[in-house]
Structure 1
Amino acid sequence: MLSDLLVIELASVLAGPSVGQFFAELGATVIKVENPRTRGDVTRRWWAPDQTGDGEDDRSAYFCCCNHGKQSVAVDLTLEDGQAVVHRLVERADVVLSSYRPGAATRLGVGASTLRALNDRLIIGQITGYGENDPRAGYDAVIQSESGFTYMNGPADGEPTKLPVALMDVLAAHQLKEGLLVKLIERMQTGRGGVVSVSLLQAAVSALVNQATNYLVAGHIPERMGSAHPNIAPYGTLYPTADGERLVLAVGTDRQFRALCERLGLDDMPDDARYATNADRVEHRASLDAALRSALSGLNTEELLTDLQKANVPAGRVRSMPQVFEQGPAEAMTLRPDGHPAGLRQVAFSGRLAGRPLSPPPQYAEHTRSVLQDRLGMANREIADLVERSVVDTA
């Protein structure tokens, strides 16, 4: 059962920690090992523009996006005694999450070979920037650029633009979740653990999907198109409506296009040779866009969306963040522990294990003492000695 799993999280920032929260949501015990020299995960200090740290609560909005349901233990891995503490936890663990630059984990005594020698059932999930043999650190903004996302993103007449979320980290996290779940199934069959390694770059490239195959198959080099789609029209383009909102269409079939035109009073367009098929519409994108823009500009958003929904024409409004959470399914993805910062669920599928309540994101070193006592059986005297020698930190 996942409720029996012990996960040791040596990762920081977003990709690795989001995997840790994923397992916490599925019932696992997740112990987040943090660095006393930096007072924990660097994201604890990445405050939102409207959020200020009060000196007592170190849980920034960023930190709260992927650290619910965990226990925080502060251990200095640059010290041999600190490594020994983590090794004792690893001996009892099922999964270790790591996001060190290649070579750093070995120097800190938590390399894959070292940890696997302690526990042959252990499964290690590693995230790197460019692969296990490339020493470069992986940062989402750089990976976005290196993987082609930044080049393709932005208005046609504008500069390449970074995406507004760390999507490369998110993609790598999903790849690692999948790999770890597969490895857990394998362990049920063999009794042995192993290593799952994911690079941010390869996770990003795997997500290029049709943009990559447009190039690989047809030699087409994707260029910036704003919100338009290179293979489908009208799909993704934003159109202003009469009440000042913006509407997006996702018309993927000729039938949907005909239904759209009927609702907009453009009855002749589906039979016009320039727009009869998707290929025709892509070729004549500019005139198509002009006609739709003119028709949509005089219509009310809510009424139009209702009408299009009845006609099974995919469409939606462009929502701000407050408007996003006006939707029931979006609100259901939030975590709101009483008296603590809110967060987001990592598990977006339904099932018996999904949707369970989670403890709030931990304060730095909040659980050091309880984990050392309860998990490792350390006496107060032994813990006090580790604290005095700065091997561990307690809240």
Structure 2
Amino acid sequence: MAGSETPGALDGIVVLDLTRILAGPTATQMMGDLGATIWKIENPKTGGDDTRAWGPPYAPTPDGQDTDLSAYFMAANRNKKSIAVDLASAEGQRVLRQMAARADVVIENFKPGGLVKYGLDHATLCAAHPGLVYCSISGFGQTGPNRDKPGYDLMAQGYGGIMSLTGDPDGQPMKVGVGIADVMCGMYATIGVLAALRHRDATGEGQHIDLSLVDAQMAWLINEGTNFLASGQNPVRRGNAHPNIVPYEVFAAADGHVILAVGNDGQFRRFCDFVGRPDLAELPEFATNPARLENRVGLIAEITPLIAARSMAEIIDGLEARKVPVGPIHTVKQALSTDQARARHMVVPMQANGAGTVQVLGNPLNFSRTPVRYRSAPPRFGQDTDEVLQSLARSDEDHTG
């Protein structure tokens, strides 16, 4: 992990962050990790970002009292300055317009049109500042028949199709275990902002980015979405099985479960040799992946008891030695406690204001020249208000002096 003196890829970029919950904060945390200055605006009437109250667990004070640093909030809000501003007030709007004049990027997740009455919408700010990159995140986007409907991760997963593919074939549709629609929307937002900044730097032109949770979720249907477009057949839930590769799923071992991910015919032959049934790889109905896909039920019936007769360690060691993809199913505790997680710095301790040391998940990007920096822990509500507003005031004095 780099020290604070190491330059970041986005050093000098200022982001006015009018987002809350998860999608927008995911994007701005990523930009903050890369060196951008993030001004996180929080509503003093509500105590700030909604997720500050989405606990327990919370980071406690030294005497054991809960802080406003819920684990959920800390997941997406490091490397930011928290500034308490009431955008519903005339003074708050003046301050935010002042901040927008200093910013390279504005990112917001209000309902479409929700900022017009405050004079903080993209049309108003982009007209005043032609080089501004303005990103709007909403449930369904700025256009379309559903533009005014609210957007939450669970609803996006349902509307966008991923829940119909997730879960046991005989169970109910199931959401992914984390807010993946929000997170992926935040990742798309980051990509969009970076692309728009490159265009701005080349031409001087800013622009508006219109991004929705549902559009993003449909985009990452990936192979199952294109399976439908190519075949006209609606994909179905398969539990842990893969729609296009067999065998590629979870199997019970004698003492737990393992993941088997056979990606080609050579790996399948080596798998069959390991389980003592090399003849299976020679049968026409199993010899190739298209054949195995067609005869999925029969093949799984053949290999399930062969795997169940062996321990997890035997299976993993034996198949790894044969270069057949295989692995364990970790709990979150096990995953974050592995030697691999430690070697890759995927758990990062940080010093939080009034809450001692907190731990956050690491950023997976590893740059050779401009490494990710963990400059500041997730902020307490409004902790940077005076510092930032006084800095703006001094800047204005310098400009007018």
With the length of structure 1 as denominator, give the TM-score of the two structures. Answer: 0.91
1:12 to 20, 28, 32: 20
CA contact (8 A) 2:60 2:66 kept: no
Deviation string, structure 1 residues 24-74 (Cα, Å, up to 9, x no partner): 111111110001111100000001468789666101000000100111001
Alignment correspondent of 1:326 = 337
1:36 to 17, 39, 44: 44
Q: Secondary structure at the match of 1:160?
A: coil
Q: Are 1:84 and 2:94 matched, yes or no?
A: yes
Give ranges in structure 1 of 5+ residues lacking alignment. Answer: 380-395
1:169 to 171, 182, 186: 182
Deviation string, structure 1 residues 255-284 (Cα, Å, up to 9, x no partner): 010011111111111001221111111122
Query: Which 4+ residue blocks in structure 1 deviate beyond 4 angstroms?
Result: 49-56
Give the letter aligned to residue 371 of structure 2: A
In structure 2, the CA distance between the partners of 1:164 and 1:51, relative to structure 1 (3 Å rule), is: farther
* Cα distance between partner residues in 2 of 1:132 and 1:254: 47
1:105 to 97, 101, 115: 115
CA contact (8 A) 1:347 1:354 kept: no
Alignment correspondent of 1:238 = 250
- 357-366 or 305-314: bigger deviation: 305-314
Alignment correspondent of 1:377 = 394
Alignment correspondent of 2:209 = 196
Give the letter aligned to residue 49 of structure 2: D
Alignment correspondent of 1:73 = 83
**C-alpha deviation, 1:298, in angstroms:** 1.9
Q: Quote the sequence identity (%).
A: 35
Q: Are 1:336 and 2:349 matched, yes or no?
A: yes
Q: Secondary structure at the match of 1:2?
A: coil
Alignment correspondent of 2:275 = 264
The number of residues matched between the two structures is: 377
Q: Secondary structure at the match of 1:238?
A: strand
Alignment correspondent of 1:354 = 371
* Cα distance between partner residues in 2 of 1:15 and 1:215: 27
Alignment correspondent of 1:247 = 258
Q: Secondary structure at the match of 1:363?
A: coil
In structure 2, the CA distance between the partners of 1:257 and 1:171, relative to structure 1 (3 Å rule), is: same
Give the letter aligned to residue 53 of structure 2: R
**C-alpha deviation, 1:340, in angstroms:** 3.2
1:224 to 237, 244, 250: 237
* Cα distance between partner residues in 2 of 1:52 and 1:188: 43
**C-alpha deviation, 1:107, in angstroms:** 2.3
Q: Secondary structure at the match of 1:58?
A: strand
Give ranges in structure 2 of 5+ residues lacking alignment. Answer: 1-8, 397-401
CA contact (8 A) 1:232 1:282 kept: yes
Deviation string, structure 1 residues 311-354 (Cα, Å, up to 9, x no partner): 22111111101111123443422221142322223453433223
CA contact (8 A) 2:82 2:380 kept: yes
Q: Are 1:125 and 2:135 matched, yes or no?
A: yes
* Cα distance between partner residues in 1 of 2:241 and 2:214: 25
In structure 2, the CA distance between the partners of 1:7 and 1:328, relative to structure 1 (3 Å rule), is: farther
**C-alpha deviation, 1:97, in angstroms:** 1.2
Q: Are 1:183 and 2:196 matched, yes or no?
A: yes
- 150-159 or 286-295: bigger deviation: 286-295
CA contact (8 A) 2:32 2:80 kept: yes
**C-alpha deviation, 1:174, in angstroms:** 1.3
In structure 2, the CA distance between the partners of 1:328 and 1:114, relative to structure 1 (3 Å rule), is: farther
Q: Secondary structure at the match of 1:268?
A: helix
Alignment correspondent of 1:386 = none
